[in-house]
Amino acid sequence: MEITYTVSGMSCGHCKAAVESEVGQVPGVESVSADVDSKLVVVRGEGLDDTALRAAIDEAGYEAA
């Protein structure tokens, strides 16, 4: 499955890395790709938990719309 989030506040490579690192630790996540320009974070994996993914984005210091 794949879930895409719009995450405001990402402005540079550090933001991208922070989001990808946190989200990548969520169980079931196989890949995560954050794009600073489009503000989109694409998460792929099995049995993804929306609540856990949003919490990880929050933990990184950003907010999923």
- Residues in touch with Cu ion (CB under 5 A): 11-12, 14-15
Is 41 within 8 Å of 23 (Cβ atoms)?
A: yes
For the chain, the straight-line distance linking the first and the last C-alpha, in angstroms and rounded, comes to 19
State the nearest-atom distance from the C-beta of 14 to Cu ion, in Å.
4
Nearer to Cu ion, 8 or 50 (CB): 8
In 3-state terms, what secondary structure has residue 48?
A: coil
Other Cβ atoms closer than 10 A to 56: 23
State the nearest-atom distance from the C-beta of 47 to Cu ion, in Å.
30
Nearer to Cu ion, 9 or 27 (CB): 9
Nearer to Cu ion, 18 or 29 (CB): 18
